[in-house]
Amino acid sequence: MAGAGAGMSERFLVTGAYGCIGAWVLRQLVDEGVDVVAADASTDDHRVTALLDEDERAHVRFVQSDISRPEEVEVLFDLQPTHVIHLAALQVPFCRADPVRGAQVNVVGTVAIFTSAVRGGLHTPIVYASSAAGVRGRRCGTRSIRSPCDALRRLQARERGKRHASSPPRTACRASGSGRTSSTGRAATRDSRRRRRSQCVRRRRASRSRSATAA
């Protein structure tokens, strides 16, 4: 295969183009006026026809392709895409009914996409999505998921928390100008607070004792 994108303008390859997300991706790319190759194993294009009129569909190259077959994936990369948006996958009900077929499409197919991209000299990152992994389920933690963006923000926050927990403690001193306090400084601050609390307790006790004596 020739190097992807050699001597040409942008060309987007969208796998799973007839799916819900894929159809809207086509809508966006057509609006942007870029060259698009739409690949899907299905022939059911009702979502695409609902979003794109006949003239708009004429600007898209539709290819029937099964990504579980590496030789068909290679044919897609022979079209020299400069960008790849990988959305082709089988969802849970289909995978549960036929686990082998699910693995062929979701696992082998994705590996075939990555392999052909490397062989084809693709220079841009492959964009892939899994809405089921991001938003599936009624609840996430203790709050309900209201949108895919909400779920994404929570997953990102969770990953930041994991990185923070696994990172070594910072020991930069305030005197260095970093604005942080060393572990020794924090211990001294805690000791100072304990002493002040003890002094307050002793003063209150002494005051109550004097009041009782005067009575």
Residue 40 lies in a domain: yes
Residue 199 lies in a domain: no
Domains: count for the chain: 1
Q: What is the pLDDT of residues 171-212, one digit of tens each?
A: 544 444 444 556 676 777 778 778 877 887 777 777 777 766
d(CA 176, CA 190): 21
Q: What is the pLDDT of residues 91-133, one digit of tens each?
A: 888 999 999 999 999 999 999 999 999 999 999 999 988 655 4
pLDDT score recorded for residue 37: 98
Which domain covers residue 44, as residue numbers? 11-134
Structure tokens belonging to residue 82: 């400069």
SS3 call for 166: helix
Q: Which residues pair with 21 in a beta bridge?
A: none
Q: What is the pLDDT of residues 137-175, one digit of tens each?
A: 444 444 444 444 554 566 567 667 766 666 665 554 444
Predicted structure pTM score: 0.59
Residue 148 lies in a domain: no
- CATH code of the domain containing 105: 3.40.50.720
